[in-house]
Structure 1
Amino acid sequence: MYLYNVSIIIEESQHETLLSWLQQSWTPTLPSDIKFLKMLNTPHEGHTYCVQLIVSDERQIQQFQSEHIVSLQAHIAQHHNEKAFIFDSVMQYL
């Protein structure tokens, strides 16, 4: 089993706009078992949001990336260039 985590860090000045888009436009397109979280006590300035998915194999991660992360990246590049960035990580359950 794998945990796929996508973290989105957004500057204070842009966070309300991005959060609204995430909640109203992007997350409704995601599978129902996706978790959408706000990171508390983050060492980063601004706000950090996370999207987490638990899958049984890495192929499912690649599929999720191509179906959903591409649109997230495009939106951030177009509307929040240099004000937000995303990074992802894959963890394996032991």
Structure 2
Amino acid sequence: MIIYNVTINIDESVHDQWLSWMMDEHIPAVMDTGKFIKAKMVKVLVVEEMGGSTYSVQYFAENHDKLQAYYKEDAPRLREEGARLFGDKMLAFRTELELLKEFKSI
């Protein structure tokens, strides 16, 4: 399984608008592409020197081919919308992770 992790720092001046957009529009639109099987959104609790609030969204793809298809077919359109709405008030950092094993407590 591949995890596509997007870490976003959002300026407080647009925080509430951005959070609503992420929850109600953006994440559902990414999931509607059919490239991911689930997503999780978490708030980063470490306070950044630059200010704002930081979040991480993790999208889970069955394999790397699904993620590559997302990059090619969907990502440019979906990224452009965020840039258009929030501009320099939003800073995103993207990483790809491979899930090796999942551990659960008994």
TM-score between the two structures when normalised by the length of structure 1? 0.78
The offset of 1:39, in angstroms, is 1.5
Answer yes or no: is 1:60 the counterpart of 2:44.
Answer: no
For 1:87, what is the secondary structure of its paired residue?
strand
Following TM superposition, the consecutive aligned residue runs of length 4 or more in structure 1 with deviations greater than 3 angstroms are: 65-69
Q: Structure 1: which 5+ residue stretches go unaligned?
A: none
Report the equivalent of 2:18. Answer: 18
| Structure 1 Cα separation of the partners of residues 86 and 62 of structure 2 | 33
Q: 1:84 aligns with which of 73, 90, 100?
A: 90
**CA-based RMSD:** 2.2
Deviations 1:32-84 (A, max 9, x none): 61112222124352111221123342222122334553344212221211111
Percent of aligned pairs with the same residue? 30
| Structure 1 Cα separation of the partners of residues 76 and 22 of structure 2 | 14
For 2:96, what is the secondary structure of its paired residue?
strand
Answer yes or no: is 1:38 the counterpart of 2:38.
Answer: no
Letter in 1 for 2:90: A
Aligned residues: 94
TM-score between the two structures when normalised by the length of structure 2? 0.71
Change (3 A) 1:19 1:89: same
Change (3 A) 1:58 1:42: farther
Q: Structure 2: which 5+ residue stretches go unaligned?
A: 32-36, 101-106
Q: Considering only CA atoms, is the larger Rg found in Structure 1 or Structure 2?
A: 2
